[in-house]
């Protein structure tokens, strides 16, 4: 047995070479931190912390108890030492929450979307996709190598025209399998999909429907179930509902919900499910707790979103691109000739005044937090800074 004193001496002398040489020189390309967490005056509207679950002490304590029981990771894929009772409970809870037969949980949201698509869409299939479809959808289609037909953003009439063209070409042929892949709320524009109109066309031309709901689950519908609840649509009309758990749910990973047959197929064909280490159990627990505490938050968040929409449009005179009830706000200036320059000035001004948000190709992006609704002082600060920024 090693002497304790000798052990401590050897540990003190242990100074291994680094595996990777670290270059301390900072460059302009370094990732920028939007918020200094030590400064309480900062208001973070960059995070997709829509329901404020990231600030819940109860959820943090629950996750801590799971770490003490299971550790921080399973170190294996779901089918090989990676499944715990907590994973199975979350899948059962999501299926029940989304009013579907079954659900599957992935360890990364991006992969949940791309792998779910690639597991079903094959080379000879025809997939109808929005021109502004997000990157995970595009990557899933690249992996699937399907024949992709694009239609105008959120336009069911454009979708019908493209579907009609394909149908005419197939008149004297064996028809190919067809899929429609759409986003509930666009990751780029924040616009809400007119789901019923798209479903009518898809059903007319006998298509399978995949609905990506990252920015609508937890936000739309009285209970946060997304667009099916918001528009009072039977969820079984949709073959699969896919979403990340990284926005309103406030964790990591993603899920796919659908029929038992559709989900079971992914357990053998979803590459991101088969080959990735499973979602750490404490993050699974965070999802379970988020679903429990959702309550009235979706309604409150949509009320805040409508108020904020009117403020941006009427008071600040911004051009608001996103839907009025969307918590993912995308807006820009009315002067198209100097759009990028003016947006940069507004963004920098708000940042200097400790109100932090994002920019994308379309415009400025604010992710609303339901906690602002009850914190009038911080909400007034956001309004004040944006009002002054609008004069730029």
Residue 77's Cβ-count burial label (10 Å; 0-12, 13-18, 19+) is: middle
- Please report, rounded to a whole number, the percentage of residues in the chain having pLDDT higher than 70: 95
Question: Can you give the pLDDT at residue 30?
Answer: 55
Report, as an integer, the average pLDDT of 354-362.
Answer: 92
Looking at the structure, give the CATH architecture of the domain made up of residues 43-51+296-390: Alpha-Beta Complex (3.90)
pLDDT tens per residue, range 45-81: 999 999 999 999 999 999 999 999 999 888 899 988 8
Domains 43-51+296-390 and 58-292 share a fold: no
Range of weakest confidence among 8-17, 79-88, 351-360, 369-378 = 8-17
Report, as an integer, the average pLDDT of 307-314.
Answer: 96
Question: Can you give the pLDDT at residue 343?
Answer: 94
pLDDT tens per residue, range 104-114: 999 999 999 99
> Domain boundaries in the chain?
43-51+296-390, 58-292
Question: Can you give the pLDDT at residue 166?
Answer: 95
Q: State the pLDDT confidence band at 116, using cuts at 50, 70 and 90.
A: very high
Range of weakest confidence among 11-15, 177-181, 197-201, 210-214 = 11-15
Report, as an integer, the average pLDDT of 116-131.
Answer: 95
For the domain with range 58-292, which CATH number is right: 3.30.70.3270, 3.40.50.300, 3.30.450.20, 3.40.640.10? 3.40.640.10
What is the C-alpha radius of gyration for the chain, rounded to an integer number of angstroms? Answer: 23
Report, as an integer, the average pLDDT of 83-112.
Answer: 95
Question: Can you give the pLDDT at residue 336?
Answer: 87
| Residue 84 clears pLDDT 60, i.e. is over it | yes
Q: Which residue has the higher pLDDT, 361 or 301?
A: 301
Question: Can you give the pLDDT at residue 40?
Answer: 76
Q: Which residue has the higher pLDDT, 391 or 29?
A: 391
- Please report, rounded to a whole number, the percentage of residues in the chain having pLDDT higher than 90: 81
Report, as an integer, the average pLDDT of 135-145.
Answer: 94
Q: State the pLDDT confidence band at 33, using cuts at 50, 70 and 90.
A: low
**Average per-residue pLDDT for the chain:** 92
Q: State the pLDDT confidence band at 346, using cuts at 50, 70 and 90.
A: very high
pLDDT tens per residue, range 141-184: 999 999 999 999 999 999 999 999 999 998 888 899 999 999 99
Q: How far apart are CA 236 and CA 116, in angstroms?
A: 17
Q: Which residue has the higher pLDDT, 178 or 17?
A: 178
């Amino acid at each position: 047995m090693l002497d304790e004193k000798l052990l401590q001496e050897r540990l003190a002398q242990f100074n291994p070479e680094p595996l990777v040489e670290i270059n301390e020189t900072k460059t302009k390309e370094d990732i920028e931190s939007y918020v200094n967490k030590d400064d309480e005056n900062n208001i973070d509207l960059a995070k997709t912390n829509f329901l404020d679950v990231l600030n819940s002490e109860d959820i943090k304590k629950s996750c801590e108890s799971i770490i003490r029981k299971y550790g921080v990771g399973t170190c294996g894929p779901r089918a090989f030492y990676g499944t715990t009772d907590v994973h199975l409970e979350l899948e059962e809870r999501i299926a029940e929450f989304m009013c579907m037969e079954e659900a599957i949980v992935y360890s990364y949201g991006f992969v949940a979307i791309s792998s779910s698509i690639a597991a079903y869409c094959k080379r000879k299939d025809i997939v109808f996709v929005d021109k502004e479809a997000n990157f995970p959808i595009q990557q899933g289609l690249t992996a699937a190598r399907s024949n992709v037909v694009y239609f105008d953003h959120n336009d069911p009439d454009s979708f019908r025209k493209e579907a009609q063209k394909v149908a005419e070409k197939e008149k004297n042929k064996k028809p190919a399998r067809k899929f429609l892949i759409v986003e509930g709320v666009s990751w780029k524009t924040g616009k809400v999909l007119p789901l019923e109109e798209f479903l009518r066309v898809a059903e007319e031309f006998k298509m399978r429907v995949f609905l990506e709901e990252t920015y609508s689950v937890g936000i739309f519908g009285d209970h946060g179930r997304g667009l099916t609840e918001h528009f009072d649509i039977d969820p079984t009309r949709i073959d699969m509902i896919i979403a990340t758990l990284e926005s309103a749910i406030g964790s990591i990973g993603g899920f796919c919900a659908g029929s038992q047959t559709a989900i079971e197929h992914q357990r053998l064909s979803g590459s991101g499910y088969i080959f990735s280490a499973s979602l750490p159990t404490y993050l699974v627990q965070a999802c379970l707790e988020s679903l429990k505490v959702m309550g009235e938050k979706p309604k409150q968040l949509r009320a805040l979103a409508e108020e904020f929409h009117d403020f941006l449009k009427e008071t600040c005179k911004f051009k608001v691109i996103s839907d009025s009830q969307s918590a993912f706000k995308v807006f820009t200036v009315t002067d198209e000739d100097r759009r990028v320059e003016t947006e940069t000035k507004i963004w920098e001004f708000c940042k200097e005044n400790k109100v932090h948000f994002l920019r994308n190709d379309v415009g400025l992006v604010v992710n609303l937090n339901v906690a602002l609704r009850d914190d009038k002082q911080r909400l007034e600060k956001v309004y004040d800074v944006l009002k002054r920024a609008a004069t730029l």
